[in-house]
Structure 1
Amino acid sequence: MKVNKTNAARLLDKAKIVYELIPYQVDESDLAATHVAEQLGENIEQVFKTLVLRGDKTGIFVCVIPGNREVNLKSAAKISGNKNAEMIAMKELLPTTGYIRGGCSPIGMKKHFPTYFHHTCLNFDYIYVSAGIRGIQIKIDPKDLTSYVSAEIGDIVMS
């Protein structure tokens, strides 16, 4: 099956970063990362979701966390230099990032936003993140990805 390159994939090519594009069957009624992991036949802890938040001091920032976890808003605020943080409204996602829900990638947003990955990403040889559209994931070494997006690593999920 031929998979068309996404903008995120082209950016990785330009940076000479090794990755694979992995297609999966989209279910419009279930955009959850757990569904993606099932489709890929992978451990949900290796399928990361990209969340966009707004801090009260710094504005927009990005958290990338395992698909079966919830972001800890207090921890996310603290690591990003904010007192408070909240998820942005769904209607803001496309104009802010250039991506839609279920296809939001930490790679190639409209602007570079401070990005924070949950520390468990480093437990794996590879993780999955959205390739920027629904139906395609990027399989990539988390060290390469976090370095490329200049991410900080921290504990940003609910325990």
Structure 2
Amino acid sequence: MKKQKTNAMRILESNKIPYIEHEYEHRKDDPVDGIHVAQTIGEPVERVYKTLVCTGSDKDNYVFMIPVDQELDLKKCAKAAHLKHIEMLPLKDLTKTTGYIRGGCSPLGMKKVFKTWIQEDAMLYDTIFFSGGKIGLQIEANANDLSKVIDIEFADLIKSAN
């Protein structure tokens, strides 16, 4: 049986960006959170990234990728985007804005290409993991390679442990 490609996989392939797909079983009652995903695929949480969509004070949308066990610092995100403030996109608007559902939101293949920031720690690893565009699929790729298909910057985006 032929595997079904997601938009994220097609984008990587058409740009000749190497990646590894990691499929995992997701049952109906499994939690839809990145820590569970990291445990399921057997990878450390610091290498598994979640994709979060925000709206800026300029009314544009922005994407931030951070390790699944971390929390987004909205003040740091606003500073990185050179905006007064930034807030999380309401979950009810996620699908109509990106084309993806919660738990399956990939930074690649959204309805529109949004400016994207990745937590700077991603540069420490040869590869990171992120959603392949559906629940049950993670893509492993080099974070720097993503700059070939989306406008990315690396920055400190996470809340500091106090």
Q: TM-score, normalised by structure 1?
A: 0.95
Q: Tell which deviates more after alignment, 12-21 or 137-146.
A: 137-146
**Which residue in the other structure is 1:104 paired with?**
105
Q: Is the 8 A contact 1:58 1:81 kept in 2?
A: no
4+ residue runs of structure 1 moved beyond 6 angstroms? none
**Which residue in the other structure is 1:22 paired with?**
22
**Which residue in the other structure is 2:134 paired with?**
133
Q: Is the 8 A contact 1:21 1:138 kept in 2?
A: yes
Q: Judging changes above 3 Å, is the alpha-carbon distance between structure 1 residues 34 and 27 closer, same or farther for their aligned structure 2 residues?
A: farther
Residues of 2 paired with 1:103 and 1:15: CA distance?
22
SS of residue paired to 1:81: coil
1:8 aligns to 2:8 (yes or no):
yes
Q: Is the 8 A contact 2:11 2:149 kept in 1?
A: no
1:68 aligns to 2:54 (yes or no):
no
Amino acid at match of 2:116: T
SS of residue paired to 1:62: strand
Task: Tell me the CA shift for residue 77 of structure 1.
Answer: 0.8
Amino acid at match of 1:77: A
SS of residue paired to 2:16: coil
Q: Judging changes above 3 Å, is the alpha-carbon distance between structure 1 residues 83 and 98 closer, same or farther for their aligned structure 2 residues?
A: same
Amino acid at match of 1:41: G
- Deviations for 1:62-88, whole angstroms, at most 9, x for unmatched residues? 000001000000000111121111101
Q: TM-score, normalised by structure 2?
A: 0.93
Amino acid at match of 1:74: K
Amino acid at match of 2:129: Y
> Counterparts in 2 of 1:78-157, with a 5 A limit?
78-157=79-158
Residues of 2 paired with 1:86 and 1:102: CA distance?
19
Task: Tell me the CA shift for residue 156 of structure 1.
Answer: 0.6
Unaligned runs of 5+ in 2: none
Residues of 2 paired with 1:147 and 1:153: CA distance?
14
